[in-house]
Amino acid sequence: MRWSWNLLLAAALVVSAPTLGAAAEPEPPPADGAVDEEGFGDDADDGFGEDGDEDGFDGLDDDDETVEEARPWSLTGFIRSSWSLWVERFDANPFAKGRQSVDLRFSYVDDWFKLVVAGHAEYDFAYLVERDSYDDPTLDAFEWQVDTREAFVSLSFANIQLSLGRQIVAWGDGDAFSPLDVVNPRDNREPGLSDLDDMRLPSLATRLQVTAGALMIELMVVHESWFGYTQPARGPFSPFEKLLADDPLVATLLGDRGVLFEHAQERFHGDNQQFFARAVYKGAGIDLGFHVASVLDRQGVLVPPDDLTQFAQADPVVLAVDHPRVTVIGWSGSLPFNDVVFKWELVAELDKPLMVGSPPADFGLARTDLFHTMLSASYSGVTDLNIGLEFMQPVMLRDPELAPGQDLLLPVEAPALALRVMYTALNEKLNASAVATMFGWQAEVGFLARFELSYRFVDAVTLAAGFVTYHPGDEFGPFYGLDRHDRLFIKLRWDFTIFD
């Protein structure tokens, strides 16, 4: 079955070029991270055929003009080819990534009806090289994926819109950090290599929106408890690999056996419904949002096994991940002032679960109320240059109940800081960006930096190259153990339109 999908994807990559080469030059498709509102039927004025014009076309008969009506449907997509090398592993296997992917998006829009169906397929050739060095969970997560993206039906009646299906809905105003953005799961397989909009994955949901002028009220129920593409315990970016190896007894006990994370919640179950409500005001000079939600904690906590003898016998060792329910309350906003745009999110997570101790033998669960402050400023006062700075500080509102000598696994109150610089030139064909993200006041939880340069040769083809460097800290966190993970990467993307 796996190789049949691989052959299908390879065939799509080969056949699409001659098939789509004659398509009209496209507009780029909507970003994956938004439920877009597409407009159709606005005919552009071409300036021909008007009486008395100076171009010598006033003799044409209006009856001879042919105006092509806009179609209510479209089929667009893009092909991406991404290649990476581990720059610190040339003595071993430097082949980090060879992912080829195809995305297609079909939409039909009428006056009151909208249908969107999108799909994604990918295969990574890197996992054909020294294949035996990867465990099965890593191959399952990274080698190939075939899945739907957004697939929903939307009905509009005056100022009311009802949507049902797999949807991506962005909450909050943060770009690098957004504690309010709790609607959709994420693709967390490659930390620091994707922007937030590219990481969001759709969820099956029912969504009701009511607008009244500048005010929008939204009610939503998410019907599936899916937590996205997660990093396997022994995956290439897993912080648990070093954590498990830090204990000599555990390292000896596990040996080369695989470790598999298994979610405790069933994906489709009535008890796992998640509920969302927000009111968003977009007025003159200010945007405000008020949010409340009852969700399953996205990160989750490991559940201690009933029988520790499984670590000596099972292959792979299965660790259950529980996602307890959390109440989220937040206020977000955006305020422009001259050349600076200020954004903020103030968010409370009530009864937030935390891991205590150290897996796989000595760990457990504690609860707290966590308050996040996210502040950001974006400056665009220099032509073609944008500079953004974001800061987030979590604070525990009550101390979790810990056993004597027990500590939190993660430094929950560590601050986070992100800096982004973007420059465009040559009529926005050339783009250069630099991003740095730091956790902890002295980067004691780690930091990364990414540099990227891209050039759009034509409206549909973009080539990018860059470098990312990881610097893990001394405390357990997202970059723990990533001391040989610096990458050189190159990406090619072709956007196409089959019909529009």
Question: pLDDT tens per residue, the chain (500 residues)?
Answer: 444 444 333 344 333 333 333 333 334 444 443 444 433 334 444 433 334 444 443 444 545 555 566 789 999 999 999 999 999 988 889 999 999 999 999 999 998 999 999 999 999 999 999 999 898 889 999 999 999 999 999 999 999 999 999 999 999 888 889 999 999 999 999 988 887 778 899 999 999 999 999 999 999 999 999 999 988 888 899 888 888 777 777 777 777 777 888 899 999 999 999 999 999 999 888 999 999 999 999 989 888 777 666 666 777 778 889 999 999 999 999 999 999 999 999 999 999 999 887 665 567 788 999 999 999 999 999 999 999 999 999 999 998 887 777 788 888 999 999 999 999 999 999 999 999 999 999 999 999 999 999 999 988 999 999 999 999 988 888 899 899 999 999 999 999 999 88
Given this model, what pLDDT does residue 248 score?
A: 76
Cα(251)–Cα(420) distance, integer angstroms: 39
pLDDT at 309: 66
What pLDDT, on a 0 to 100 scale, did the predictor assign at position 44?
40
Q: How many CB atoms lie within 10 A of CB 209?
A: 19
Task: Please tell me the distance from the alpha carbon of residue 387 to that of residue 409, in angstroms, as a whole number.
Answer: 34
Q: What is the pLDDT of residues 48-70, one digit of tens each?
A: 333 444 444 344 454 555 556 67
pLDDT score of 410: 86
Q: Which amino acid is at 354?
A: L
List the beta strands (DSSP E) in 273-339: 274-283, 286-296, 301-303, 317-322, 325-337
* Residues 363/357, Cβ–Cβ less than 8 Å: yes
In sequence order, the β-bridge partners of residue 399 are none
The predicted pLDDT at position 344 comes to 97
Q: Distances from the Cα of 135 to the Cαs of 131, 260, 315, in angstroms?
A: 9, 10, 11
What would you report as the CA-atom Rg of the chain, rounded to the nearest whole angstrom?
25
**Residue 270, by phi and psi: left (phi above 0), alpha (psi -120 to 50) or beta?**
alpha
Asked if 386 contacts 171 with a C-beta cutoff of 8 angstroms, the reply is no
Amino acid at 99: R
Q: What integer pLDDT is reported at residue 217 of this predicted model?
A: 98
CATH number, domain 2-37+70-499: 2.40.160.100
List the one residue out of 454, 431, 393, 440 whose CA is nearest residue 177: 393
Residue 101, amino acid: S
Torsion sign, CA atoms 54, 57, 59, 60: negative
CA 283 remoteness from chain centre = 28
Q: 67 with 46: CB under 8 angstroms?
A: no
Q: Are 420 and 176 in contact (CB under 8 A)?
A: yes
* Calpha distance 430→69 (Å, rounded): 35
Phi, psi at 401, each rounded to 5°: -80, 115
Residue with tokens 């520790």: 308
Which DSSP string do the residues of 155-182 spell out, in sequence order?
A: EEETTEEEEEEEE----SS-SS--TT--
